[in-house]
Structure 1
Amino acid sequence: MMLKKMIGWLLVLLLVPAVNAAEVPAEISAAIIAKLKAARPEMQFGNVETSPIKGLYLVRINGTQFLYASADGEYILAGEMYQARPGMFVPVQDLAAAKIRKELMDQVSEKDMIIFPAVDQRRAALYVFTDVDCGYCRKLHKETVPELTLAGVEVRYLAFPRAGVGSPSYKKIASAWCADDRQAALTALKNNKAVPENVCDGNPVAAQFELGHKVGVNGTPALVLEDGTLLPGYRPAAELLKMMGLN
């Protein structure tokens, strides 16, 4: 299980492009690297890339780490950079990964999701990776989802049985996906009620479980905004609406 999660994150990271690396003038890149090598010759310095802050450049070191440097390489900062967005701070490095997540989520057919539509006009959509035996998933379904749909958010459920494919949780959630009334079956399971076991051929649960690993899900509920931002864990409706700019 852990290996699958690591592979999923590795796939995302490998797909993330360098951030405007080609836009860094050669003389600035050379000056930064020369200054850093003079200070720490034992380190392996890689690409110099632009950052969202003018005059501050991202420099990759030792393969997987990075720091930020001034244009002359004399001053450096180590640590994560965040972008302030409504209701949250988002790591800048995650913004590129979010584009990959969005592309992956856009490839999922609506017919393979269990969708709770907006009550009136749809203003936004929220993807939710869920497990029917997860306490906070049940709380989200009972308390948050009704408020979201009333506020114009379409909630799109995807399956993520934490115990894995073939587990009792998998059989339960697959039975919801295979039911004639998917919404009713999923709601019953989240209310701790039994539904007839019906694991039909060709159900999308295993594929969605793998998709979850690819986009970085390591627990449930896991929420993905339309722009690909990943939000782990339970969130109340008011917080989510603020993040989506709907309140």
Structure 2
Amino acid sequence: MKKGLLLLTLMLGAATSFAHADDAAIKQALQQKIGATQIDIQPSPIAGLQTVLTEGGVLYVSSDGKHILQGPLYDISGPMPVNATTELLAPILTKRLDALKDEMIVYKAPQEKYSVTVFTDVTCGYCSKLHKEMKGYNDLGITVRYLAFPRQGPNSDAEKTMTSIWCAPNRMEAFDAVMSDKSVKPATCSINLKRHYELGTLFGIQGTPAIVVDGATVLSGYSAPSDLKATLDAYAAHKATGMTK
């Protein structure tokens, strides 16, 4: 019995050391080859690959750090393809989303039934259209929380304008003004919108508006208030059905 326990302990210790070695190889490769500075290594459903969160998005990296895959991973074992990447990372992305709550510009529904987070860009026509219909969303019980996603990337003109909005004494007033084709007084502060942008890339967002329902579901593009309400109702019903099975 003692020999068996000793052998098991040695095997577990070797496995842990091997995992640490794999992580070290991955970190070194990503730092040296693609200049990644933010590296969060997570498990993957595929043997020999690790899921890696970086400032440039989600990667799948071989254990030796020599091969990289980019893009969503789909599970086709069931009746319909499922985005395994967002499902796997949902708890992590939800936590990172919650960490930015104090930086969100929130338009709260008087009788809230749903809350969505919208990654927006002040140069985006459909973002402006969505914002101009805010009363419609709020009247249907949908609270809208904004984060910034300048499509041209950090340090772009859009990012500078959005920084001025987020650093204004009254963010909602400044955001409303810009979305109505008015100007905003230039401003800077401790808020770094690069964090918003990087989180958006982890969600796989490439365009705006992008509506995050939860840590695993992103609706791409504009959706009219009634259409979004119908989508959220269907999503809630689906989740409830899944929980009762």
Q: What's the TM-score once normalised by structure 2's chain length?
A: 0.62
Alignment of 1:119-134 (within 5 A): 120-134=110-124
**How far does residue 149 in structure 1 lie from its aligned partner after superposition?**
1.2
1:141 aligned onto 2:137: no
CA distance, structure 1, for counterparts of residue 204 and residue 217 of structure 2: 11
Correspondence list, 1:1-247, <5 A:
15=42, 17-18=44-45, 46=47, 80=76, 91=83, 94-108=86-100, 110-118=101-109, 120-143=110-133, 145-198=134-187, 200-245=188-233
Give the secondary structure class of the aligned counterpart of 2:145: strand
- RCO greater where, 1 or 2, for CA within 8 Å and sep 6 or more? 1
Aligned partners of 1:80 and 1:136: how far apart in 2?
A: 33
What SS does the corresponding residue of 1:244 show, helix, strand or coil? helix
8 A contact 2:127–2:209 mirrored in 1? yes
Name the SS for the 1:164 alignment partner: coil
TM-superposed CA distance for 1:121, in Å, is: 2.4
Query: Identity over the aligned pairs, expressed in percent?
Result: 32
C-alpha separation between the residues in 1 aligned to 2:138 and 2:35?
A: 34
1:224 Cα deviation (Å)? 0.5
1:94/1:164 Cα in 2 relative to 1: closer, same or farther (>3 Å)?
A: closer
Equivalent position SS for 2:118: strand
- The Cα offsets for residues 159-183 of structure 1, whole Å up to 9 and x where unpaired, read as 1111222221111111110111111
Question: Which amino acid counterpart does residue 222 of structure 2 have in structure 1?
Answer: Y
**In 2, Cα distance between the equivalents of 1:127 and 1:7?**
30
Distance between the aligned counterparts of 2:79 and 2:95, measured in 1? 21
Whether the aligned pair in 1 keeps the contact of 2:89 and 2:215 (CA below 8 Å) is: no
Q: How many residues align?
A: 181
2-structure distance, mates of 1:79, 1:92: 6
Q: Is the Cα–Cα contact under 8 Å of residues 162 and 219 in structure 1 kept in the other structure?
A: yes
Unaligned runs of 5+ in 2: 1-33, 49-67, 238-245
Instruction: Indicate if the aligned counterparts of 1:15 and 1:100 stay in contact, CA closer than 8 A.
Output: no
Cα distance in 2 for residues equivalent to 1:180 and 1:223: 26
The structure carrying a bigger helix percent of its residues is 2
